[in-house]
Structure 1
Amino acid sequence: MGRILCIDYGKSRIGLALSDPMQIIASPLKTIDSHNVEEAILLIQKEVIKNEVELIAVGLPIALSGNSTAQTEEVKCFISQLKNGTSVPIVEVDERLSSVEAIRTLHKKGIKTGHNKGEIDKTAAAIILQTYLDTKNFNPNL
């Protein structure tokens, strides 16, 4: 079984998280700059190869109402570009409230989040991935 890489895409930064080889536990990996999308995709490709990733999960920001937003369309555009840059399958994962949960998690650990947006992004990616893993392991048909 290969690992799953999760991406929390934002206009300034991309949070990355990685599963363990058994696809049970998600851990924050790193944050990369997203101002240059082509360069960001190259960095993601390096992580895919280095970590033997077999699937990429991308957090899709959806409004609490379930509707798409302008940010949803931005992420879909990024996913389209990412698909052109990798042969690894990509799945979209609902990321509603992941950043809020990431901030709560970091505060519980005593980590200040005011100037530490990168920590929030990679923690949010880990939360998105853990939710996906829990759902996938409960329903193996995903």
Structure 2
Amino acid sequence: VAVGQRITGTARPLPAIKAQDGTPDWNIIERLLKEWQPDEIIVGLPLNMDGTEQPLTARARKFANRIHGRFGVEVKLHDERLSTVEARSGLFEQGGYRALNKGKVDSAAAVIILESYFEQGY
């Protein structure tokens, strides 16, 4: 999870939200939405390197639709290709292997996805 400002084009990480058996913690998501009151939510869209869809693509679309349905906030999907690779590289440079826990990697990838979305001028 990350929050950002469209004006500055920057984002900062928030703690990752763990899903239980593929089900997100809707209470945490609701709390974050109340706290941050975003204009829109950007959900990373996992694609193959050639741009084709993969099994996780449908799950990301379903998650985005469920957020919109539950909370009525606008949700957009954004290509997340290589965001995890970039996140791991940056975290490793900062703290070696100790910095590579899944939560930190996921949060850093969320920052990369959101800033990439801003860079494309949306």
TM-score by length of structure 2 reads 0.89
What residue is the counterpart of 1:9 in the other structure? none
- Off by >4 Å, runs of 4+ in structure 1: 36-39
Q: Does structure 2 conserve the Cα–Cα contact (< 8 Å) formed by 1:103 and 1:113?
A: no
* 2:95 is aligned with 1:90: no
- 1:42 lines up with 2:27 in the alignment: yes
- Tell me how far apart the structure 2 counterparts of residues 91 and 23 of structure 1 sit (CA, whole Å): 19
| Structure 2 unaligned spans of 5+ | none
96-105 vs 20-29, greater mean Cα deviation: 20-29
**Pairs aligned (count):** 122
| 20 and 69 in structure 1: CA distance in 2 versus 1, 3 angstrom threshold | same
Aligned to 1:120: 105
RMSD: 2.0
- Determine if contact 1:60/1:94 at 8 Å carries over to the other structure: yes
Match for residue 51 of structure 1 among 32, 36, 46: 36
| 8 A contact 2:80–2:113 mirrored in 1 | yes
The structure that is strand-richer by fraction is 1
1:88-122, Cα deviation, whole Å (9 max, x unpaired): 10000000010000000101112425761100000
Q: Which residue of 1 aligns with 2:5?
A: 20
Instruction: Give TM-score, length-normalised by structure 1.
Output: 0.77
Shift of 1:22: 3.3
Of all paired residues, the percent bearing the same amino acid is 29
Distance 1:113 1:76, change over 3 A: farther
